[in-house]
Structure 1
Amino acid sequence: MASIYRHRNAWQASVTVAGTNKKQNFRTRKEAETWAAQLHGELQQAHAPLLGGPAKATVGRTLYEYAHLYTIHKRGAKQEINLINRYLLAAGLPTLQLQVTEQGGVDLTDAPPATELPFSFAGLRAKRAASREKTNAFRAGLSVLPVVQVSAQTMLRFMSAMRKDGLTDSTIQKELALLKHAFNCAQKHWNWAGFENPMANIAVPKGGPGRCAVLDEDAELALFDALGRCDNPFILPIVQFAIETTSRRGSLLRLRWRDVDLPGRTATLRLTKAGENQIAPLTQRAVEILSRLPRDDDDARVFPMTADALDSAWDRATTEAGLPDLRFHDLRHVGTTRHARRLRNPQMLASPVTRRTRCSRATRTCLWMTCLMHSMPPSPR
């Protein structure tokens, strides 16, 4: 809104847009009108709702913009981009990929057209899609729905579809948390006047109960035998090394030879989940595993494979070994249990396991007490 009026010995123009008011004096009325018209257009453009507002923006288009503005700055950007790409693919929008710039930064670009996947990868994705049929169908409809039409009932039905597919609380939490935060950002920062987050009063499920996996000798032999038959020669070593170091999959796949000190028996894990570098001590067994691997370049990765390649090989091997419910992350628990059986002080587990929180210390103490009780002879009656 613009107003032109006499003010003392000049013409004053006053422009107000979205609560922002600016005034300026001019010698003539024509100068005031020209300035007011130009400023009014600039302010309207600056305060225009992003993507045209919730009535025009679909959920898929909203997540595409959200990825460029927010996801790119997150530590877990790659995992969240993979989730967002499911909506983009269903909405017919270009999928996204993270790229490292020449300056060492991170950029988000449209992914090239998908090529035909290798047979093993295609089979893995088809298997996952079949187990999430209701979830994928609901997501496809949601991705093309204007945001203004998304209601609390819509999200509750989405949650129900995921429950019917048997998805865990942790998986449901990640999906709903993404949408809830995207709607929050749009409400606060995108000039979507009158828009209210439809998920504001919906309780997002918390992560499920912690898992505790222990491999007995027969199960371990069956697993290692199946892993040894994989075409990729690095699959078995990375699993054995994961057990010895109790490290996460992402840390192992990022590990480079320049960060490994075999004589000093340490490995530096870069940008761990805690957001910092950690020096992990290596057991003698871990040193032996690394010593058998080829080392051509210090800048090369110790385990040169993608996460998809590891997942595909892991799924095949665990199925062949009769352990379909075993996850790669469970190897952390397997390794921790082994360290607990060897040590007689729960605080000593902090070194080989590299866990630091109070909860982890309590877990180490519990494991130590459990293993100690199993090693004690039965009490006399």
Structure 2
Amino acid sequence: MAKAYREGKTWSFRLRVKGQDIYRTGFSTEAAANQAQAEIRQASAQSAQPSGSGPFCTSLGRAFMQYAKERLPSLKGADKDANRINRYLRPLGLPTIQLEKLDAAAGSTIYWKVSFVGKTERVIPNSLKTHRAKLEEQSSASQRQRAALASMNMSDVTSHHIQQC
């Protein structure tokens, strides 16, 4: 534990918690400074822990699935986000997001029911097959990059990886 020290007419302390340097001053007594240190340490110990298995063991695809469970029900535009996220989930063979619109009750902030469905084949009408094949050919590089990105651990993803997509 860092020791409180006298600084002019007040007591101060310098503390490092989880790599963060904390400096506080202006305490009338040493006991008050020590009490403030204890409160900071306790708040830090109770602060948010990594979600799931943490960034070193969670792939981007799994993180997207967690995000979908937690946030998509309360977003009005969740259907668009679900389509974007599914582009990352499909190449990994992970279950894709399926949304069901809920009847909006007065004052309700839940708009969607989120569920995950196993790997399903997308049915493309015959009239669109040539057009879709052309589009897929044009976006094949982006699809490969999305697949690589989705399989990376969250701790390894950096801005230059995302800019490539």
Q: TM-score, normalised by structure 2?
A: 0.60
Q: Which amino acid aligns with 1:141?
A: A
The alpha-carbon deviation at position 51 of structure 1 amounts to: 1.6
**What residue number does 2:138 align with?**
131
Give the distance between the partners of 1:116 and 1:80, measured in 2 at CA: 18
**What residue number does 2:82 align with?**
81
CA 1:116 to 1:138, structure 2 compared with 1: closer, same or farther past 3 Å?
closer
Q: Which amino acid aligns with 2:89?
A: L
- CA shift digits 1:11-50 (9 cap, x unpaired): xxx9x76625xxxxxxxxxxxxxxxxxxxxxx6xx94421
**What residue number does 2:33 align with?**
none
The alpha-carbon deviation at position 95 of structure 1 amounts to: 0.3
Corresponding residue to 2:44 among 19, 22, 27: 19
The structure with more strand, counted as a fraction of residues: 2
| Aligned positions of 1:285-304 closer than 5 A | none
SS at match of 1:96: strand
**What residue number does 1:146 align with?**
153
Corresponding residue to 2:162 among 155, 159, 163: 155
Q: Which amino acid aligns with 1:19?
A: S
SS at match of 1:19: helix
| Aligned positions of 1:1-381 closer than 5 A | 19-20=44-45, 47-101=48-102, 105-111=111-117, 113-115=119-121, 117=123, 118-156=125-163, 158-159=164-165
The alpha-carbon deviation at position 116 of structure 1 amounts to: 5.4
The unaligned stretches of length 5 or more in structure 1 are 1-13, 21-42, 160-381
- CA shift digits 1:327-364 (9 cap, x unpaired): xxxxxxxxxxxxxxxxxxxxxxxxxxxxxxxxxxxxxx
**What residue number does 1:303 align with?**
none
Q: Which amino acid aligns with 1:70?
A: R
Q: Which amino acid aligns with 2:75?
A: K
- CA shift digits 1:204-246 (9 cap, x unpaired): xxxxxxxxxxxxxxxxxxxxxxxxxxxxxxxxxxxxxxxxxxx
Q: Which amino acid aligns with 1:73?
A: S
Give the distance between the partners of 1:125 and 1:18, measured in 2 at CA: 54
The unaligned stretches of length 5 or more in structure 2 are 1-37, 106-110
Task: Answer whether contact 2:59 2:153 (CA < 8 A) is retained.
Answer: yes
Higher deviation after alignment, 71-80 or 130-139: 71-80
Percent identity for Structure 1 against Structure 2: 26
CA 1:64 to 1:82, structure 2 compared with 1: closer, same or farther past 3 Å?
same
Give the distance between the partners of 1:151 and 1:113, measured in 2 at CA: 28
Task: Answer whether contact 1:18 1:47 (CA < 8 A) is retained.
Answer: no
Please report the RMSD computed on the Cα atoms of aligned residues, expressed in angstroms: 2.8
SS at match of 1:54: coil
Bigger-Rg structure (1/2): 1
**What residue number does 2:11 align with?**
none
The structure with more helix, counted as a fraction of residues: 1
Task: Answer whether contact 2:94 2:119 (CA < 8 A) is retained.
Answer: no
Give the structure, 1 or 2, with the largest relative contact order (CA under 8 Å, sep 6 or more). 2
Task: Answer whether contact 2:56 2:154 (CA < 8 A) is retained.
Answer: yes
The alpha-carbon deviation at position 98 of structure 1 amounts to: 1.0
SS at match of 2:52: helix
SS at match of 1:98: strand
SS at match of 1:114: coil
CA 1:148 to 1:49, structure 2 compared with 1: closer, same or farther past 3 Å?
same
The alpha-carbon deviation at position 142 of structure 1 amounts to: 0.4
The alpha-carbon deviation at position 101 of structure 1 amounts to: 3.8
Q: State how many pairs are aligned.
A: 120
